[in-house]
């Protein structure tokens, strides 16, 4: 039932084209260096896709100048999408490696909010060039995956603070596909404070120039939010990789979403994107 509801919501979401407000225009052909706006839409429990809330109901990073809205199409309105700006700086054709989105301290209430969302399997939805993206707020680690010394029944909760975007283009200024992944809990689990960046680096960047602010050697591990206490200096980061694709076209880029009914209900929790 939940799978059918999610597919229905996704169909409504994709049912119309967005009409932007004057200050946040939609553009489908880009030159190198042009701004590509990433809009945030909503959050909610994956198992109940009809239950949704505004994206910033959780204390995610916000633009320093404040959020701005984007006018909704009929499909977006029916799908409960509330499009707002985000602080991600994405420019067409410009790769970014481990850029700092924001650095903030989370008080106990903010940590509890994130933890409750992870416990309930919350996902978020965003849009890039009107293509929808989905990802989970965090991950629950159980038993052995909860780290050294954990019992079989113990659980720990982790917040994803890193997103990696792969943006595919046709070489003619068009975005034809976008995927996003987060820093997952890899096999064997890890203990609090472990700094093993090799498991979380999405790509090494060999042969590619990466711009943007960031530290390529910093560990990209999720943040342990099991205990609802203050956590200082949490860094949210992101990477963007632009990939030339000769197999995807702009004219047919929405076809993969129309075939979404072929997807299993339990999508891979670390890469909730249509590929």
Task: Provide the pLDDT for residue 269.
Answer: 46
With a pLDDT cut of 70, the percent of the chain lying above it is 61
Task: Provide the pLDDT for residue 260.
Answer: 57
Rg (CA), the chain: 18
pLDDT in tens, 59-90: 999 998 877 766 555 444 545 567 999 999 99
Round to whole Å and give the CA distance between 78 and 11. 10
Output the pTM of the full model: 0.72
Task: Provide the pLDDT for residue 72.
Answer: 56
Task: Show the beta-strand stretches assigned E in 110-246.
Answer: 122-128, 131-136, 138-142, 155-159, 162-169, 175-182, 223-224, 231-244
Residue with tokens 């720990």: 156
Range in 14-18, 53-57, 250-254 with the lowest mean pLDDT: 14-18
Q: How many CA atoms lie within 13 A of 107 on its CB side?
A: 1
The structure tokens listed for 135 are: 């990802």
């Amino acid at each position: 039932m939940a799978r059918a509801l999610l597919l229905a919501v996704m169909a409504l979401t994709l049912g119309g084209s967005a009409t932007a407000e004057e200050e946040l225009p939609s553009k489908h052909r880009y030159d190198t260096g042009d701004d590509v706006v990433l809009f945030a839409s909503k959050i909610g429990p994956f198992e109940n896709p009809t239950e949704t809330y505004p994206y910033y109901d959780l204390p995610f990073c916000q633009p320093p100048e404040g959020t701005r809205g984007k006018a909704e199409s009929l499909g977006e309105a029916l799908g409960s999408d509330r499009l707002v700006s985000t602080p991600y700086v994405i420019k067409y054709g410009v790769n970014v490696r481990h850029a700092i989105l924001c650095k903030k301290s989370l008080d106990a209430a903010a940590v509890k909010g994130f933890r409750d969302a992870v416990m309930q399997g919350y996902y978020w939805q965003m849009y890039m060039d009107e293509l929808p993206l989905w990802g989970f707020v965090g991950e629950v680690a159980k038993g052995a995956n909860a780290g050294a010394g954990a019992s079989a029944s113990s659980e720990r909760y982790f917040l994803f603070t890193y997103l990696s975007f792969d943006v595919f283009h046709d070489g003619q200024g068009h975005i034809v596909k976008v995927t996003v992944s987060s820093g997952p809990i890899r096999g064997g689990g890890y203990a609090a404070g472990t700094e093993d960046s090799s498991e979380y680096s999405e790509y090494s960047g060999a042969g590619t120039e990466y711009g943007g602010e960031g530290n390529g050697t910093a560990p990209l591990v999720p943040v342990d939010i099991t205990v609802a206490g203050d956590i200082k200096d949490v860094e949210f980061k992101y990477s963007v990789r632009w990939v030339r694709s000769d197999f995807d076209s702009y004219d047919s880029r929405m076809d993969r979403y129309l075939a979404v009914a072929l997807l299993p209900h339990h999508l891979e929790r670390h890469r909730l994107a249509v590929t």
